[in-house]
Amino acid sequence: MAGDLLDNQGRGDVRWSLPPIHPEGRKYGLIALVVSLFFLIGLDWEIVGWPLLALSAGIFAFFRDPERVVPQDDSAILAPADGQVTMIAEVEPPRELVIDDGSGIGGLSPDTVTRVSIFLSVFDVHINRTPIAGTVQRVVYIPGSFADAGLDKASEENERQHILVERSDGTKVGFTQIAGLVARRIVPFVKPGDTLGAGQRVGLIRFGSRVDIYLPAGTGSDVLLGQRVVAGETVIARLGARKLLEGVSQ
């Protein structure tokens, strides 16, 4: 009926439901589950079986892939990851997002911009999403170390993957998936030339990690240090507006 409340999937009843498990994690969860049942039922080794069963539940939870309600606002730049904002700094963009890569498509300007760093704990959703709608211009994987993702040097030393997305009006936003102490693989879902809608899934990082986003020149952060953000839903900045926030790290 007209006026009935609909959820974001067009259903007439709004209700909570378990989020689906991303296919990337199903095999790991099933392996842990089978091994735990082997110890519990086959060998009756409860001291090993129960911890493994808890581990399998944790793996399924880690790879959960909930639906997100993306703001319908062309000026919005969305959070690319779930987690806590741990750094907001004025920096130069990564070299890989700036230099000519031979494709004939320019990268980011080398001028100083605002970088917002989002730390993902093992309890956060690890599916990453594009902050803007547009075309993927670059996906650059860089091997590296696995230091604490909370450290500033992780942006330059850790294993990471840069992604550059360009809107139809020429606005470009770059962001970087960074592996951490526990993370050991960055899994991309996109490649150069792909066209994305705002908030669309672009990849995941297995276990604790970090995502940096480089805002367009002249654009400041609308989020604060310590704030928790949700990928594809939280607006972290708006194009054409710059806010000078107390507590911004220089």
Strand ranges inside the chain, DSSP E:
76-78, 83-91, 113-120, 127-129, 134-142, 160-166, 172-179, 186-188, 195-196, 201-205, 209-214, 228-229, 235-238
Tell me how far CA of residue 126 lies from CA of 4, 164, 167, 190, 229, in angstroms. Answer: 34, 19, 24, 16, 13
Q: What is the set of active-site residues?
A: 209
34: which DSSP letter? Answer: H
Question: CA-to-CA distance for 46 and 51, rounded, in angstroms?
Answer: 8
Question: CA-to-CA distance for 77 and 105, rounded, in angstroms?
Answer: 22
